[in-house]
Amino acid sequence: MYSWPEVSLPALPGAPQPLQLFDTATRSLKSVEVGSHARMYVCGITPYDATHIGHAATYLTFDLINRQWRDQGAAVSYVQNVTDIDDPLLERASATGVDWRDLATDQIQLFRDDMTALRILPPTSFVSVVESIEDVAIKVRALLDSGAAYYVDQDIYFDVTSDPNFGQVGHYDAATELAYFAERGGDPDRPGKRNQLDCLLWRGTRDGEPSWDSVVGSGRPGWHIECVAIALDHLGMSFDVQGGGNDLIFPHHEMSASQGQVLTGEQPYAKAYVHAGLVALDGEKMSKSRGNLVFVSKLLESGVDEMAIRLALLQNHYRTDWEWTDSNLHEAQARLNRWREAVAPPTGPSADETLAAVRTALAGDLDTTAAIAAIDRWAEHQATTPGDDPGAPGIISRTTDALLGIAL
């Protein structure tokens, strides 16, 4: 599937810093050394109710990682899926009387437009599940053949006991795993399953539901295996970062890791599992099921500057859960205005230390608040005692552009 337009990245002087990220699986900061080629998989949208501020915050997080690697001179293979066939999408389509394909097509285009406005670097492979059905079915077939999958009626399930490392992404206790599994698309109590946590790999044909013929018969893919098939086909095992919001830790990334490891006999599935905090509105996680959503496209339509939206998101550290408020957006707009005024004159205070401080902040688990504070200090300095370095405003503009994605 086509992605969205490339974003140009200005080159920066000086030396980049090695990137460290918090890895959910080892529960520690991990050095993400990639050399000349980085590989990242970020779970994409289920295309309805796109793009809300929570989605935007999550994709922005992985955009910062992408920008860190690009600053280091690495080529980045960045793969993102679109879950364009799944129960919630079909339910929304039927509730609103729209064909599920039309709903997906419209929402994917809206998402592309919003990502473009927010200056998110596009994935190198933007892959929909509908275009990957045969690849998914081949993986399901392999799991069946190895005994790691089994039939319940016409459906196929993954046996979680086939991976001795199951549980090592999230480290949750059994009760928490069960609760999350039930809450996030699982069916713990279906009769005929070997283990309550076994998850659906393939859903056999039902009347009135879309289905495809494949090497495991007619039906459609389950959720987790879609991401495994797309990641393995486009990146291979042991890619550098598996990303998503922290609501995907369990079961989604746990199941993905296990299925990838069982399929290939190799590990790890990903070298680091990186999770963004969830954005809330009015005290509750912004979610499609609750309907408490702020949409990027609606903010843009009402005349909000796209760079103010991006800066408002950056004002919160990616790992904390936080609340979207209008005051956050107003603060970002005021800051953006100060930064724009500060880079307008032909000269300014030396920018070398500021660039180094922004690089250090971002290399330390994407500390955007410290990076923003460094630019604030330079802008403040410029406002009170303007400097005479002719290269400085340009370096600051290129720094915010390349590393934070903020075009001044």
Q: Which is nearer to Zn ion, 71 or 86 (CB)?
A: 86
By the 10 Å C-beta count (0-12 exposed, 13-18 middle, 19+ buried), 34 is classed as buried
Nearer to ligand 5CA, 44 or 393 (CB): 44
Torsion 103-105-111-113 (CA) sign: negative
279 binds, among ligand 5CA, Zn ion, none (CB under 5 to 8 A by kind): ligand 5CA
21 binds, among ligand 5CA, Zn ion, none (CB under 5 to 8 A by kind): none
Specify whether the CB–CB gap between 294 and 281 falls below 8 A.
Answer: yes
Nearer to Zn ion, 251 or 349 (CB): 251
Token representation of residue 381:
């300095």
Cβ 115 to ligand 5CA, closest distance in Å? 12
Q: Alpha-carbon Rg of the chain, whole angstroms? A: 22
CA dihedral 22, 404, 230, 295 (to 10 degrees): 100
**Which of ligand 5CA, Zn ion, none binds 254 (CB below 5-8 Å, type-dependent)?**
none
What would the two tokens of residue 70 be? 């690009």
43 is a site residue for Zn ion (CB under 5 A): yes
| Tokens describing residue 85 | 């066939």
DSSP calls for 78-133? EEEEE--SSHHHHHHHHHHT--HHHHHHHHHHHHHHHHHHTTPPPPSEEEESGGGH
Question: Can you tell me the distance from the alpha carbon of 140 to that of 267, in angstroms, rounded to the nearest whole number?
Answer: 19
Candidate segments 35-43, 115-123, 201-209, 376-384, binder of Zn ion by CB under 5 A: 35-43
Minimum CB–partner distance for residue 45 and ligand 5CA (Å): 4
Considering CB distances under 5 to 8 angstroms, the limit depending on partner class, which of ligand 5CA, Zn ion, none binds residue 245?
Answer: ligand 5CA
Q: Where on the chain is the footprint of ligand 5CA (CB under 6 A)?
A: 43-46, 54-55, 57-58, 81, 83, 227, 244-245, 247-248, 276, 278-279, 285-287
Binding partner of residue 55 among Zn ion, ligand 5CA, none, CB cut-off 5 to 8 Å per kind: ligand 5CA
Q: 127, 156, 227, 231: which one contacts Zn ion (CB under 5 A)?
A: 227
Task: Kindly indicate which of the ranges 40-48, 106-114, 264-272, 359-367 contains the residues binding Zn ion, using the contact rule CB under 5 A.
Answer: 40-48
Please report the DSSP string for 30-96 in residue order.
EE---TTEEEEEE----SSS--BHHHHHHHHHHHHHHHHHHHTT-EEEEEEEE--SSHHHHHHHHHH
Please report how many Cα atoms fall inside a 13 Å half-sphere around the Cα of residue 91, on the Cβ side.
7
Nearer to ligand 5CA, 221 or 244 (CB): 244
Q: Select 274 or 358, whichever has its Cβ closest to Zn ion.
A: 274
Smallest separation, CB 227 to Zn ion (Å):
4
Closest distance between ligand 5CA and the C-beta of residue 22, in Å? 16
CB of 25 to Zn ion, least distance (A): 16
Q: How far is CA 33 from CA 276, 324, 353, 402, in A?
A: 20, 33, 24, 20
Nearer to Zn ion, 253 or 359 (CB): 253
| In the complex, least distance from residue 120 CB atom to ligand 5CA, rounded to whole angstroms | 13
> What residues line the site for Zn ion (CB under 5 A)?
43, 227
